[in-house]
A and B are shown apart, each in its own frame.
Chain A
Amino acid sequence: MRLTPEQLSARKRRNVALALALVCFVVVVFIATVLKLHDNDAEREARDLAAAEQVQ
């Protein structure tokens, strides 16, 4: 089966859009992971500090 130029062009544009969406998704997951780790570290530090102050 031979695709028409219109079908080929539409398929190519869909593929490019899908690739971009996947890249965006990976970047968003990466950023979310880094920010969550940072948040968790900050929370732990605050907890440790509060515990240390209580002991003193």
Chain B
Amino acid sequence: MTDTPTPAISTARPEDFFQLLKPRVMSLVVFTAVTGLVAAPGAMNLGLAAISVLCIAVGAGAAGALNMALEGETDALMRRTRGRPVAAGRVSSNDALAYGVILSIFSVALLGLSANWLAAGLLALTIVYYAGFYTLLLKRRTPQNIVIGGAAGALPPVIGWAAVTGSAPWQAWLLFLIVFLWTPPHSWALALYSAGDYARAGIPMMPVARGAKSTRLQILLYSLVLVPVAVIPGLTEMGGRLYLAVSIAGGLGFLALALRVWRSRAGDTPDKAEAEGREAALYDVRVEARPARNLFAYSILYLLALFAALLVENAPVIGACPSCG
């Protein structure tokens, strides 16, 4: 008689399933989606707006779960991601896949029912684009992965806008463009001081594929395009003086830091944690890589400030529909 293999019994906790949703990414998605929703002309019932934002958040989380399900082996090779539930073996990739698919279906369907089907379609597009196109096709094939894949992260404000108006005019795509252009300098600043991880995992991030010098130049070039584009909403009905001030002052700061990265030697040598063979600490880097670290940290603040300014200037619109109750 032969021994039958004992089936693996999961010890996954609910927290692991929450981690699959990439809560930090989800919070940025919620913030930009709310901004799109508030900046859109017209008004939406507050309850339906809250449900729409919940759907967008869960949909983005589902895309994160699908990403982790499909990338468990790669994540296990990188210090930054090896603690993730699938990579660490706490959740099986099949469970994560099923979880992501179910959440995707429910979030898209509920957004369609509570807002409209354009918004739901855009959410479905975001999930398929991120989990399918970016994770499976782009990420391992081209150093432009983060540029093209960044479109998925840039769609939430358009979804928020579409949820209110049922349309996606150029103003919504302007918000898309800001996040889209912001993603490369933000991601490459981080990649400059964690390139070893990407190289080990076989991911052709820009510093790995084209080298640190080229990456620093491209960060500067993208910043030179991003900053003027980010000022444009201030010249439209969407933004006012506050937005204009934040986008100009914040943009100058962004350019100054990008210039410092370009002139630095960030990424020329392995990052500090890698050289010392220990866990990576996001902000503990070599002296020469500090400009990249500073730009990475500042870029988050910059995007938050831009969207916060838009939120503040448009906030009174929400719930103002007298017939909406």
Contacts and interface: CB of A to CB of B under 8 A. Distances in A.
Interface of A: 1, 3, 6-7, 10-11, 13-14, 16-17, 25, 28-29, 31-32, 35-36, 38-39, 42-43, 45-46
B324 interface: yes
Contacts of A14: 10, 12-14, 17
Contact of A35 (B7, B12, B47, B323): B47
Interface in B1-19: 6-7, 9-14, 17
A32 B113 contact: yes
A28 B54 contact: yes
B51 A28 contact: yes
A39 B106 CA distance: 22
Interface of A (DSSP majority class): helix
Interface of B (DSSP majority class): helix
A31 B11 contact: no
Interface residues of B, number: 21
A42 B14 CA distance: 41
B106 A25 contact: yes
A33 B48 CA distance: 9
A29 B12 CA distance: 28
B51 A32 contact: yes
Nearest to B90: A10
A52 B47 CA distance: 30
22 contacts: A3-B9, A7-B9, A7-B10, A10-B10, A10-B11, A11-B9, A13-B13, A14-B10, A14-B13, A17-B14, A17-B17, A25-B106, A29-B110, A32-B47, A32-B48, A32-B114, A35-B47, A35-B114, A36-B48, A36-B114, A42-B325, A46-B323
A38 B325 contact: yes
B45 interface: yes
B110 A32 contact: yes
